Amino acid sequence: MDATQRRTVAMAAYAVSLVLFVFFFGRQAWDWATWDSAKGTVDFGFMKITSRPPFPNDIRSVMLGLVTPIVIAAFGRIAGRGAGHATGHE
């Protein structure tokens, strides 16, 4: 595989990683992090009721949103560098 093909494979892997992260983890984490307690909490004095979205810690969000993108990005990094860089030979 020549350098242009390696770069293409690496960029495609990075793009797929980014899409997976955004759709399965990033969007839900952003909703959780930017939740406004002044707008989403009803305070009765002795009890508070909130509408804060749950943190994305289910298996689908973690596996498809964090673990899989890391593995795919690592593959893209390895593919982008080529086999010669691992052994020091070109």
pLDDT of residue 2: 84
- The string of pLDDT tens digits covering residues 24-53 is 999 999 998 998 888 888 888 888 888 888
DSSP 31-88: HHHT--HHHHEEE-SS-EEE-PPPPS-SHHHHIIIIIHHHHHHHHHHHHHH-HHHHHT
pLDDT of residue 83: 62
- The string of pLDDT tens digits covering residues 44-85 is 888 888 888 888 889 989 999 999 999 999 999 998 887 665
The model's pTM is: 0.75
